[in-house]
């Protein structure tokens, strides 16, 4: 029958039975049903991946690899010799693992060095304070800064008491109400304090739990505003000074910081692949960041995310699987300074954005996995829900909204579907950016499960006949 005639007849039928949008909906539903059947056929492959990761020869491999890496290299601050050693280590390890197209892509990253630092309360008593200077902070003069303290609980209070703050050290004792909101004090506390004439700022660490542990992180100065030294202090010291101030007690602190910023340093994003069999130009990207802060071992943030990404490729390779699309792992550099390495990667590769099927990042710990967070249109979400059902054997089938990750955000803003690991991160900010971020936080069983999630999802999406809709 003539195709045009068929189309016309179909349209006439819809006029009697419903709208053209109803017809489109029925076609979409049929397509989703077909895709669901296609995905269901991966159940045995998914189980093979899960078994290999959880109870097979690869059991605990991601944990053991990460332990060797962090014990050998340590923490990996942007621009540091340790980060350079870490990149060389990974290049060699990925090559020896038999992965394809292992290479390094050069970028420039910030180079900030902490130097020696300490803070001493002089009044009302001598008390040595645990501090961690914030990334990009300037140092104090060589003689340090000795000044009276003003304690505030919000930016609003600071500006209401602006006349009192001039010439003083501003201590922020803001409550932790969630990372996204509370981190504004770490990021902009120094700038806001400088606007009212303060000589330094000390910020309560961004954490819901503390055992006298300061948390570091990046902070931003604003153009046209004087730069003042800034550091995080412990929850305990912030609360103590708030109590003292409430009683009207005068507080004086001596602050010494040797922080310096040097010209941007050479660094690399580290890349490895399993090349696709049918559509090698199309990419499913999995990732974590290789850099860390200069405290602890960077095992949780983000050694775990980087190493489950490596493990995902290893599991797929070990099973002799080769998806239709290329699986590309990128270990980002300079994430802690705002996704610096990832942004340069995006600028280099965005010309091929239409070939990026899915971008994935793990950067919220590798604790017990619950599933994924996902950003994409409704039809893509429906497909991903079917993919997640393959993870029923390990009870990690959840798919919530809002995939997140500093390094993949560039792609998601460009319309590429994005996913991030959704795990039980209830204790993540206990250890985040502290000396406690060590292998003791990591659990081999949980890393096995996270690796299985990462491998199953990335492989199945890369092997489907069609790319995810966008």
- Residue positions annotated with a catalytic role: 335
User: How many Cα atoms within 13 Å fall on the side-chain side of residue 164?
Assistant: 14
| CA gap 234, 216 in Å, rounded | 10
Neighbours of 468 (CB within 10 A): 21
What is the DSSP secondary structure assignment for residue 142, as one 8-state letter? T
Which residue pairs, CB below 8 angstroms and at least 24 apart, start in 397-400?
Answer: 397/371, 398/370, 398/371, 398/372, 398/422, 399/371, 399/372, 399/373, 399/374, 400/371, 400/372, 400/373, 400/374
Sign of CA dihedral 196, 293, 440, 302: positive
Residue 278: is it exposed, middle or buried by C-beta count within 10 angstroms (0-12/13-18/19+)?
exposed
Q: H or E element: which one contains 8?
A: helix 3-17
User: How many Cα atoms within 13 Å fall on the side-chain side of residue 112?
Assistant: 22
CB 40 within 8 A of CB 460: no
**Helix ranges (DSSP H) in 55-151:** 61-73, 81-96
Give the bridge partners for 148, in sequence order.
252
């Amino acid at each position: 029958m003539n195709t045009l005639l068929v189309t016309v007849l179909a349209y006439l039928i819809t006029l009697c039975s419903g709208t053209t949008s109803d017809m489109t909906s029925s076609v979409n539903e049929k397509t989703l049903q077909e895709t669901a059947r296609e995905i269901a056929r991966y159940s045995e492959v998914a189980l093979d991946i899960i078994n290999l990761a959880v109870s097979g020869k690869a059991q605990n491999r991601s944990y053991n690899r990460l332990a060797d890496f962090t014990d050998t290299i340590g923490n990996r601050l942007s621009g540091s010799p340790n980060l350079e050693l870490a990149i060389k280590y990974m290049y060699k390890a990925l090559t020896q693992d038999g992965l394809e197209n292992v290479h390094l892509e050069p970028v420039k990253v910030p180079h900030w060095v902490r130097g020696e630092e300490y803070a001493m309360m002089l009044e009302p008593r001598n008390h040595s304070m645990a501090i961690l200077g914030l990334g990009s902070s300037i140092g104090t003069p060589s003689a340090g800064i000795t000044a009276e303290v003003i304690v505030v609980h919000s930016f609003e209070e600071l500006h209401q008491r602006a006349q009192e703050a001039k010439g003083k050290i501003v201590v922020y004792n803001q409550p932790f109400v969630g990372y996204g909101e509370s981190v504004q004090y770490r990021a902009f506390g120094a700038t806001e304090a400088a606007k009212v004439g303060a000589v330094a700022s000390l910020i309560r660490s961004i954490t819901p739990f503390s055992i006298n542990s300061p948390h570091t992180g990046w902070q931003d100065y604003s153009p046209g505003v004087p730069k003042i030294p800034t550091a995080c202090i412990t929850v305990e010291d912030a609360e103590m000074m708030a109590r003292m101030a409430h009683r009207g007690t005068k507080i004086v602190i001596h602050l010494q910081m040797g922080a310096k910023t040097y010209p941007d340093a050479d660094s690399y994003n580290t890349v490895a692949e399993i090349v696709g069999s049918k559509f090698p130009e199309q990419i499913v990207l999995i990732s974590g960041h290789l850099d860390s802060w200069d405290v602890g071992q960077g095992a949780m943030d983000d050694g775990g995310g980087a190493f489950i990404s490596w493990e995902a490729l290893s599991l797929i390779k070990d099973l002799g699987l080769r998806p239709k699309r290329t699986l590309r792992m990128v270990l980002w550099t300079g994430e802690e300074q705002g996704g610096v390495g990832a942004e340069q990667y995006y600028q280099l590769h965005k010309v091929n954005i239409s070939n990026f099927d899915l971008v994935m990042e793990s950067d919220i710990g590798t604790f017990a996995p619950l599933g994924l967070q996902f950003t994409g249109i409704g039809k893509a979400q429906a497909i991903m829900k079917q993919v997640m059902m393959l993870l029923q054997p390990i009870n990690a089938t959840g798919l919530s909204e809002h995939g997140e990750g500093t390094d993949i955000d560039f792609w998601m803003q460009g319309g590429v579907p994005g996913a991030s690991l959704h795990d039980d991160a209830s204790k993540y900010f206990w250890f985040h950016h502290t000396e406690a971020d060590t292998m003791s936080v990591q659990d081999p069983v949980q890393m096995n499960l996270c690796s299985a999630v990462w491998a199953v999802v990335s492989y199945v999406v890369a092997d489907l006949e069609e790319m995810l809709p966008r």
